[in-house]
Amino acid sequence: MLPACYTNNSYLQQTHVKKTAVLSALSLQTGSILAPAHIAYETWGTLNSSGDNCILICHALTGDAHACDETNPDDAGSGWWNPLIGKGRVIDTDKYFIVCSNVLGSCYGSSGPTSAHPADGSAYRLRFPEVSVNDMVHAQRELLRQLGVRSVAAVIGGSLGGLQALEWAIAHSDFVRSAIVIAASPRLSTQGLAFDEISRQAIMGDPNWNQGNYSSEQQPNFGLGLARMIAMLTYTSAEGLESRFGRNLAARTSNRPQFGPRRDIDTYLHHQADKLTHRFDANSYLYLVNAMDSYDASAGVGRGTDARALSRIRGRLLGIGISSDWLFPAKDVRKMVAEAQSTGVWAEYRQIESPNGHDAFLQEWEQLTHILHNFL
């Protein structure tokens, strides 16, 4: 049976996405043309008559447009940023018009490898063109144009979403009044690239991957699950894993092969793997990891260096690092802010103190609320 993301209907039922924008054609960074391009999105609040009270929320690697569920405002699990968005919350739906779209290349309603190819109606699979962070931002810009947004009060995102927020600030400086870049910096570290290559090989080495032409009955679940286990280690920290799991023997069962004693950390990773294979597409994972790995803020006409790229920012920049993050280390976020300041950009740095590693931007609600409140 296909994961929910494979068909638009089941996806809409599962995550309440009610809107899809259709772009007749979208030019990509590689020179390819995606025609048509579909962008799934959700909105909260109301756009004002000036069209300038929009906050754009950008999701992380396997996220979706469902950042907030106003029908379950107290359930942190019903929308991936639920504790931050809503009436009277730091991202206030009474004050702002909030937009979150699913990125190009994903499998949650926007055009990606699982979408129907217009030539034959079959899934694109690896026929889908390579997409970049720049392309994701370009698609979001076209979406906001359709929605009547004239300027953005803030673009906010963490991890892959943070790369999008940074690119927004650089590429659309006349449109963005502030950018909040969380757990992201001008490029992924070499160590991060190495882990992502292992993840790719895990997927492509699964016999069921079949050069991307797998069926709904034989998906590369083992490879995708292994890629997820690898990724989960990059989202945590040694301190956090030790305090949470230690060397405790497993308290729950797992259907995966076992050699020697099974521990809590083992079944935690197995559980995370199983959850992703039930909701995400392996080819989409490859496309999005590649987009994150390929992003370099200094690349492009008129850039050349980080300083030159950051000097293009006209609005305010807030960089938020996480003390225990080694995927996008806090020192790299701090360096980005300092470099922006050196070119005259209004920029400031704040830090989340947490043992939870990279994923702290999806957990440390009190600290995030305080930081965002002071900035917004």
Residue 10: phi, psi to the nearest 5? -65, -35
Buried b (16+ CB within 10 A) or exposed e, 59-84: bbbbbbbbbbbeeebeebebbbbbbb
| Strand ranges, E, within the chain | 19-23, 26-27, 33-34, 37-44, 54-58, 85-86, 91-92, 97-101, 152-158, 178-182, 316-322, 347-352
User: Which residue is catalytic, options 101, 106, 110, 159?
Assistant: 159
Q: Is 159 a catalytic residue?
A: yes
User: Which residue is catalytic, options 325, 332, 354, 359?
Assistant: 325
Q: Which residue has the tokens 């504790």?
A: 83
Q: Is 358 a catalytic residue?
A: yes
CA 266 to mean position of chain CA atoms: 26
Residue 142's CB is within 10 A of a number of other CB atoms, namely 17
User: Which residue is catalytic, options 59, 66, 270, 358?
Assistant: 358
Instruction: Output the CA–CA distances (angstroms, integers) from residue 157 to 36, 91, 121, in the order listed.
Output: 26, 13, 33
Three-class SS of residue 287? helix
Q: Which amino acids are annotated catalytic?
A: 159, 325, 358
